[in-house]
């Protein structure tokens, strides 16, 4: 059990224990599920595909469809050309998607399969499309796989016809469907026509109708991806996840972009709203102003319970940066802030937040793991832990209040439906943080101090 984690911290470079990430193909699969009528395809063994689907299905509590090239010993030695060609033909014949999105695995990457040439030699039915990207499991994290798959779609499909389509493209980054619905709502209130890519809302949060739909009515369409090159502007949310796709859109199709942090909390949501306002030139509607004021008021009301409380935050880089900004706005101390994704920009951005808010003795680290986080907590405890379900062992071993947020949340329900972005989503987060801390006060206080009115 993790309660046997030693207290002495030793720097490790070649070994990760309880990593704070999963592998690239998981991210590629999730990005592909954000495209309408798309069949994700794992070019590797059936076991790899089953794992990637399982992680997503357990988080979203929805079926994560995907096909596999079903490598055996022969394909592993001689290459998977015949496997992928046969797979694509069968997928179009049986499942009839508009597009197949192929991602590699560690096995196909190691043997050096050239998917680009394989796809060129395929007999793809008229009106159908096959795209691919390279996602070696032993490099990066699921975040790398996510933006690599985005760029795979764009490299195959996106065009510039020369006539602006009047839309602002939005890259929402790795967020839940509930977050995308909130981001869309804000854009609609600001009267900005948008194309969100990828868009898993309506796919990974499809309603129960009593009838199974392999391709629910959600996701970015193939035509919308083609039209990204004619967008008037791009708003890329998530400075770690979306920088490379945003730069690709500008380099190849001359679409300027605003690169913004994920809009969690007051200041970061302000940036998103003002970026939309520059596109529409309308006044910020009263509804958004009211929600912002309610968020600030809630932070003030709960300040006596959150001020100077120490918190450890872990998970995907952009979500963690947003959560760090929020807890700093609440007057808390983000003592330990880590991500498993190997992006050093993450640590620099978090340290810039520390400096902005004048907090000291706080640690930010990329390419970290939960074993190391647990060791830090053993040496200097925190009052609250925020992150994925994999933090529950640490929370139990050290008796720390724990809030599940980010990806993956495997042991609770409803998270993918509830936003953490925008003023409204931040209100939900502040309520959860405050009540979790207050529940711990009620649990630990003496009987005579158990108040009904706080």
3-state secondary structure of 399: coil
Final residue of a structural domain among 157, 183, 200: 157
Burial of 356 (0-12, 13-18, 19+ CB in 10 A): exposed
Mean pLDDT of 406-417: 95
pLDDT at position 1: 52
Residue 348 belongs to a domain: yes
pLDDT at position 354: 97
Both 275 and 334 in one domain: the answer is no
The rounded Cα 155 to chain-centroid distance in angstroms is: 22
Final residue of a structural domain among 260, 285, 310: 285
Q: What are phi and psi of 343, to 5 degrees?
A: -130, 105
* pLDDT-based confidence at residue 269 (cuts at 50, 70, 90): very high
Residue 16 belongs to a domain: no
Length of the chain: 454
4-28 pLDDT per residue, tens? 888 888 888 888 899 999 999 999 9
Q: Is the pTM of this model over 0.75?
A: yes
Both 294 and 249 in one domain: the answer is no
**Which CATH number is 85's domain given?**
3.40.50.1980
Both 296 and 339 in one domain: the answer is yes
Contacts of 367 (CB under 8 A, 6+ apart): 339, 340, 341, 342, 343
Beta strand pairing call for 333-338 and 257-260? unpaired
Mean pLDDT of 414-435: 97
Distances (CA, A) of 314 to 269, 390, 435: 21, 10, 20
> What token pair was written down for 454?
């706080």
273-323 pLDDT per residue, tens? 999 999 998 999 999 999 999 999 999 999 999 999 999 999 999 999 999
Both 141 and 89 in one domain: the answer is yes
Both 293 and 425 in one domain: the answer is yes
Both 70 and 172 in one domain: the answer is no
* pLDDT-based confidence at residue 2 (cuts at 50, 70, 90): low
* pLDDT-based confidence at residue 267 (cuts at 50, 70, 90): very high
Both 291 and 279 in one domain: the answer is no
Both 382 and 440 in one domain: the answer is yes
Both 320 and 436 in one domain: the answer is yes
Residue 374 predicted with pLDDT over 70: yes
204-234 pLDDT per residue, tens? 999 999 999 999 999 999 999 999 999 999 9
Both 144 and 270 in one domain: the answer is no
3-state secondary structure of 103: strand
Both 298 and 381 in one domain: the answer is yes
Q: What are phi and psi of 39, to 5 degrees?
A: -105, 110
**Mean of the per-residue pLDDT values for the chain?**
94
Residue 338 belongs to a domain: yes
Give me the number of domains the chain comprises: 3
40-86 pLDDT per residue, tens? 999 988 888 999 999 999 999 999 999 999 888 766 766 678 889 99
The CA distance from 275 to 436, in Å, is: 33
Give yes or no for a contact between 55 and 176, defined as CB atoms under 8 angstroms apart. Answer: no
Residue 13 belongs to a domain: no
Residue 194 belongs to a domain: yes
110-166 pLDDT per residue, tens? 888 889 999 998 989 999 999 999 999 899 999 999 999 999 999 999 999 888 899
Final residue of a structural domain among 285, 316, 343: 285
What residues make up the domain containing 186?
168-285
The proportion of the chain whose per-residue pLDDT surpasses 90, expressed as a percent, equals: 85
């Amino acid at each position: 059990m993790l309660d046997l984690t030693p207290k002495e911290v030793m720097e490790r470079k070649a070994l990760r224990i309880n990593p704070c990430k999963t592998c690239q193909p998981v991210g590629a699969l999730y990005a592909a599920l954000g495209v309408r009528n798309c069949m994700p395809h794992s070019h590797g063994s059936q076991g790899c595909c089953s794992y990637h689907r399982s992680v997503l299905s357990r988080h979203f509590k929805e079926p994560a469809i995907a096909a596999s090239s079903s490598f055996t010993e022969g394909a592993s030695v001689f290459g998977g050309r015949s496997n992928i060609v046969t797979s694509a033909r069968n997928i179009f014949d049986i499942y009839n998607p508009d597009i197949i999105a192929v991602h590699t695995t560690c096995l196909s990457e190691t043997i050096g399969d050239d998917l680009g040439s394989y796809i060129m030699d395929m007999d793809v039915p008229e009106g159908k499309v096959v795209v691919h990207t390279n996602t070696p499991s032993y490099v990066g994290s699921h975040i790398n796989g996510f933006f690599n798959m985005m760029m795979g779609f764009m490299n195959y499909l996106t065009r510039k016809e020369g006539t602006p389509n009047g839309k602002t493209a939005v890259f929402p980054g790795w967020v839940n469907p509930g977050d995308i619905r909130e981001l869309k709502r804000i854009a609609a209130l600001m009267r900005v026509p948008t194309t969100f890519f990828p868009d898993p809302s309506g796919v990974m949060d499809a309603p129960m109708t009593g009838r199974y739909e392999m391709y629910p009515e959600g996701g970015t369409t193939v035509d919308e991806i083609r039209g990204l090159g004619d967008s008037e502007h791009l708003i890329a949310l998530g400075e770690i996840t979306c920088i490379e796709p945003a730069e690709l859109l500008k380099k190849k199709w001359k679409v300027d972009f605003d690169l913004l942090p994920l809009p969690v909390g007051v200041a970061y949501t302000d940036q998103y709203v003002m970026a939309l306002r520059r596109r529409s030139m309308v006044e910020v509607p009263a509804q958004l102003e009211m929600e912002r004021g309610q968020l600030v008021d809630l932070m003030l009301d709960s300040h006596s319970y959150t001020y100077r409380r120490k918190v450890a935050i872990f998970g995907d880089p952009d979500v963690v940066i947003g959560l760090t900004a929020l807890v700093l706005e609440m007057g808390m101390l983000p003592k330990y802030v880590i991500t498993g994704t190997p992006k050093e920009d993450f640590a620099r951005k978090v340290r810039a937040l520390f400096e902005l808010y004048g907090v000291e003795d706080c640690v930010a680290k990329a390419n970290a793991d939960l074993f190391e986080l647990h060791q830090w907590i053993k040496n200097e405890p925190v009052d609250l832990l925020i992150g994925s379900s994999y933090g529950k062992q640490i929370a139990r071993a050290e008796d720390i209040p724990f809030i599940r947020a980010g990806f993956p949340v495997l042991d609770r329900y409803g998270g993918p439906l509830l936003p953490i972005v925008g003023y409204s989503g931040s209100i939900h987060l502040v309520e959860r943080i405050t009540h979790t801390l207050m529940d711990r006060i009620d649990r630990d206080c003496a009987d005579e101090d158990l108040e009904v009115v706080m």
